[in-house]
Structure 1
Amino acid sequence: MNSIERAADRVAQGLALVGAIGLMALLLHVAAEVLARNLLDRPIPATNEIVSRYYMVLIAFLPLAWVERSRAMISVEILDSFLPSPLLRLSDILVAVIACVIYAAIAWVTWGDAVKNYAAGTFVDVLGHALPVWPTYFLPPAGFLLAALVTALRGIQIARRP
């Protein structure tokens, strides 16, 4: 199990790194666009589309597994302090299972959407040029699937704990 946990940590950290690189690219792109627009009176074409269709999707969905692995998701633990240890463990397992099912369901639905957009060759028109955006539709299912795997692993870890 330790090798699986290490692999999950590495994958989650790698995706968080990709998200961080996407954030830095977004910041540099937008800063360059603002400078070009204000100093040179020549805005960078398609900045709006690239930011909203590529960077934002990358930043929002790929780090989900890392957030789950870090246990940094928002949680409400009103009753946890009142539960005896066996019920708290059962509650944690139940939460992991529910989160896994929800993530997997969202991954399934977004995968279907991604395949449809790939088949259609979805693009946006930018100054008469087609900017393909279908690849970004595959980022949400990847992020949700990996988050589902991380929550499943967490549920197994809790269940195996003595």
Structure 2
Amino acid sequence: MITRIVESLSQWVAKSALVLAALFLILMALHVTLDVGLRYFFGKSFTGTLEFVSFYYMVAVVFLPIAYVELQREHISVDVFVGRFSPPVQLAFYLFAGTLGLVYFGMLCYQSYLDAVRATVRQETAMANFTFYLWPSRWALPVGFAAMCLAILANMIKAVHQRQAL
């Protein structure tokens, strides 16, 4: 029961973050294409294209889909030595690695959450020739890291339920 709930929630969160990242990727492509087109044909460009691409689009495209990649088990892994052990030992190593991942991404989530709150309270901006708010982009990190923790937990529960490392 709990396995299904955590797995369903994790799938939904990861896919939602992936769709959001894909939308930011499409927006980035359109924004840059429009900027280049305007510059090429009319000698003008959008103000702030570099800022939007650097601080909004790229951050979302990098940090939001990491949970989906984890659920698909597509992150880089090397199991040269562990692959030679028996399945119970492999499961133990997998659970140990998952626990380390939960601690690591949990700490990243916590710290990036504190940074996002601080940036939001201060209405953080970047130096530009216009007012460019940075604080909204700060929220992509804790969201991505929290989704990653949920994905790791779901994979760990799945591994225990199947009694084998994923």
Question: Is TM > 0.5 for Structure 1 vs Structure 2?
Answer: yes
1:160 CA drift (Å): 2.8
Structure 2 partner of 1:112: 114
Number of aligned pairs? 161
Aligned: 1:84 with 2:98: no
Measured in 2, the distance between the counterparts of 1:152 and 1:3 equals 12
Consecutive unaligned residues in structure 1, runs of 5 or more: none
Structure 2 partner of 1:154: 155
Consecutive unaligned residues in structure 2, runs of 5 or more: none
Measured in 2, the distance between the counterparts of 1:14 and 1:112 equals 23
1:11 CA drift (Å): 1.7
> Does the 8 A contact of 1:124 with 1:130 survive in 2?
yes
Structure 2 partner of 1:40: 42
1:156 CA drift (Å): 1.9
Give the AA of the match of 1:108. Y
% identical equivalent positions: 25
Measured in 2, the distance between the counterparts of 1:91 and 1:3 equals 25
Give the AA of the match of 2:145. F
Q: How does 1:127-146 map to 2 (within 5 A)?
A: 127=129, 129-146=130-147
SS at match of 1:126: coil
> Does the 8 A contact of 1:45 with 1:126 survive in 2?
no
Q: How does 1:30-69 map to 2 (within 5 A)?
A: 30-69=32-71
Counterpart selection for 1:97 from 93, 96, 99? 99
1:95 CA drift (Å): 1.2
Q: Deviations over 1:37-76 (max 9, x none)?
A: 1111011110000000100111011111111111111111
Give the AA of the match of 2:162. R
1:159 CA drift (Å): 2.0
> Does the 8 A contact of 1:80 with 1:88 survive in 2?
yes
Measured in 2, the distance between the counterparts of 1:154 and 1:4 equals 9
Measured in 2, the distance between the counterparts of 1:148 and 1:7 equals 12
Higher relative contact order (CA 8 A, sep 6+): 2
Give the AA of the match of 1:126. A
Q: Deviations over 1:13-59 (max 9, x none)?
A: 11111111111111111011011111110111100000001001110
Q: Deviations over 1:112-146 (max 9, x none)?
A: 1111111111112432x212111111110110011
SS at match of 2:47: coil
1:6 CA drift (Å): 2.1
Measured in 2, the distance between the counterparts of 1:153 and 1:15 equals 16
> Does the 8 A contact of 1:58 with 1:139 survive in 2?
yes
